[in-house]
């Protein structure tokens, strides 16, 4: 009789635990998948902006040494913008080149659609380099 009562208690404990945590697991999975979705939408624009800023720094250094004109610098930056698929018009690329300094700046916005919320990321990468001698 004692064994039967012990068996009943075990069954009751197992029955009460059955299915617990299923709601938590589903909620965690949905939140995790939404986090991945947001990362897939947000990381590429930030990565492209970083690569563009790096290329602009490099170009500003070489533009002084190679004595590129403002149009040549703008062409190089525009080519990089197109390679990175950044939504920038040629007119949005501001270049100020003299014999002593080169300043390059770009101002653009990237629309982001998260299905439940839409917004724009605003980027303003710029670069400046001076002649060493």
One-character DSSP codes across the chain? -HHHHHHHHHHHHHHHHTTTTHHHHHHHHHHHHHHHHHHHHHHHHHHHHHHHHHHHHHHHHHHHHHT--HHHHHHHHHHHHHHTT----GGGEEEEE-SSEEEEEE-EEEEEE-SS-EEEEEE--EEEEE---
Q: In sequence order, which residues have a C-beta less than 8 Å from that of residue 20 and are 6 or more positions away?
A: none
Q: What is the pTM of this model?
A: 0.76
Question: What's the pLDDT at 67?
Answer: 85
Question: What's the pLDDT at 78?
Answer: 95
Question: What's the pLDDT at 68?
Answer: 87
Q: In sequence order, which residues have a C-beta less than 8 Å from that of residue 60 and are 6 or more positions away?
A: 102, 103, 104, 127, 128, 129
Q: What are the pLDDT digits (tens) for 73-128?
A: 999 999 999 999 999 999 999 999 888 889 999 999 999 998 889 999 999 999 88
Q: What are the pLDDT digits (tens) for 9-63?
A: 666 655 555 556 678 889 899 999 999 999 999 999 999 999 999 999 999 888 8
């Amino acid at each position: 009789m004692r064994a039967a009562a012990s068996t009943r208690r075990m069954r009751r404990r197992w029955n009460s635990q059955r299915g617990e945590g299923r709601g938590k697991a589903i909620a965690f999975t949905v939140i995790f998948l939404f986090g991945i979705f947001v990362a897939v939408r947000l990381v590429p624009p930030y990565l492209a902006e970083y690569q563009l800023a790096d290329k602009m720094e490099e170009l500003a250094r070489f533009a002084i040494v190679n004595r590129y004109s403002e149009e040549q610098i703008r062409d190089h930056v525009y080519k990089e913008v197109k390679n990175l698929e950044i939504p920038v018009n040629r007119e949005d690329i501001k270049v100020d080149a003299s014999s002593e300094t080169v300043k390059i700046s770009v101002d653009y916005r990237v629309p982001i659609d998260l299905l439940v919320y839409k917004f724009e990321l605003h980027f303003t990468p710029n670069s400046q380099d001076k002649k060493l001698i």
